[in-house]
Amino acid sequence: MHDPTEQPPLVVHVVSQLDLGGMENGLINLITHMPAGRYRHAIVCLKDHGDYHAHIRERGVEIISLHKRDGKDLGHYLRMYRTLRKLQPDLVHTRNLPGLKGQLVAALAGVKLRVHGEHARDLCDLHGTRRRYRLLRRALRPLIGHFITVSAELRRWLIEHDGAEPERVSQIPNGVDSVQFHPRLGPPAAVGPAGFMQDNAFVIGSVGRMDEVKSHVTLVDAFLRLIASPHPAHQRLRLMIIGDGPMRAECQAMLSRAGAAHRAWLPGERTDIAQLLRAMDLFVLPSRAEGSSNTILEAMATGLPVVATNVGGNPELVHPGFTGILVPPCSPDLMAAAIADYCRIPEMGTRHGARARSQVIAHHSLPAMARSYLAIYDALASAAR
């Protein structure tokens, strides 16, 4: 039991950067749903942080950037060491491959309690098999008091490939705010540029950073195949991809070359994701690799059926024939066929979307997620005492 006269223990969360993204949103949700007064929090960003989560400072959360340069930047380890020595945290929680070496820095800085989270594999090691990173994880494993993964697939990977002891690896599913993300209550809002939405439009939507691993080009390819077909229902199709990144220009170019730019809207990063999800009829995640997608959970909470690739933690969220359809990665023809089913059979989407929201409410609440993290922090603190 924590003495209320003492200052709550400090947890320092080490992340690559604090931007608009699933892991970053998950961290903010965790901090805001932890019981008040149990732990204090600070966030250390290896690179920089935007202003998307500035509201978290109002809860007394300090956000520190180490300004790591691209490539090798040994100086950021010294900056991290000095930051940890200054903050004197009770526990350090690193995340993903970029934060892993922070475990060694935290140990050298005298931090006794150390947790590492795996939310998704790194872009340079999508399958977790590169020898260099495997050796790094094995070398640092003794320094880590406990591992947390967001999916059962990542938990199996840590145990089977990296030799982590099963009792030191916990799976905590991501949570989602089912109040903020709720089904639309009437006709869809008119979003996008003039002429994008029509009364009978069927909007295919996706949300995520537009880089190669998210493979939005596969979705664009599938969309172009559908609108090129003679089926009358396909003339209702519209495409909305929310997010920014290096592949956004390529996707826009594909649409322009096909003369379909007017039927698609790629507005870049947005902060009104909940409202835009309610303008969609189907959510599609075309990733080549995935941990446990927050955007899938947000779409399910919105009451949307989901077409997703059969990779990573997606099969743990999307149940084929019940809440959505799974397709192989990089298969635009099969993705197009799955989308066509929902476009042609609207009642199927209604059934699957309702089941998806029920699943989220039952198994992915934010308070339940926060309690699970709290239990691990408390157990490590008790064992240390």
3-class secondary structure, 94: strand
Average pLDDT for 272-299: 95
Residue 352 tokens read as: 């699957």
Beta strands of the chain (E only): which ranges? 10-15, 40-45, 62-65, 91-95, 113-118, 146-149, 169-171, 202-207, 237-242, 264-268, 282-285, 306-309, 324-327
Task: Please say if the pLDDT value at position 366 is more than 60.
Answer: yes
What are the DSSP E strand ranges found in 304-354? 306-309, 324-327
Sheet containing 40-45: give its strands across.
62-65, 40-45, 10-15, 91-95, 113-118, 146-149, 169-171
Q: What is the pLDDT of residue 1?
A: 45
Q: What is the pLDDT of residue 273?
A: 94
Q: Return the H-helix or E-strand segment holding 355.
A: helix 346-363
What are the distances in angstroms from CA 1 to CA 5, 32, 129?
12, 21, 42
**What pLDDT does residue 324 have?**
98
Region 1-22: mean pLDDT is 79
Share of the chain above pLDDT 70, in %: 97
How would you list the strands of the sheet with 306-309, edge to edge? 264-268, 237-242, 202-207, 282-285, 306-309, 324-327
> In this predicted structure, what is the pLDDT of residue 73?
86
pLDDT of residue 199: 75
* pLDDT higher than 60, residue 3: no
- Note whether 191 and 352 are within 8 A (CB): no
| Residue 68 zone, left/alpha/beta (φ > 0; ψ -120 to 50; rest) | beta
pTM attached to this predicted model: 0.88
Q: Residues 105-117: what's their mean pLDDT? A: 97
**Mean pLDDT computed over 218-227:** 98
State the residue for tokens 């439009």.
Answer: 201
Higher pLDDT, 3 or 211: 211
pLDDT, tens digit (0-9, with 9 covering 90-100), for 287-306: 999 988 999 999 999 999 99
Cα–Cα distance for residue pair 350/327, rounded to 1 Å = 20
Identity (one letter) of the amino acid at 272?
D
pLDDT digits (tens, 9 = 90+) for 64-83: 999 999 888 889 999 999 99
Which domains, ranges and CATH numbers included, belong to the chain?
A: 10-175+365-384 (3.40.50.2000), 202-363 (3.40.50.2000)
Lowest mean per-residue pLDDT among 29-33, 71-75, 152-156, 305-309: 71-75
State both tokens at 256.
């322009």
Instruction: At 104, list the tokens.
Output: 């060694």
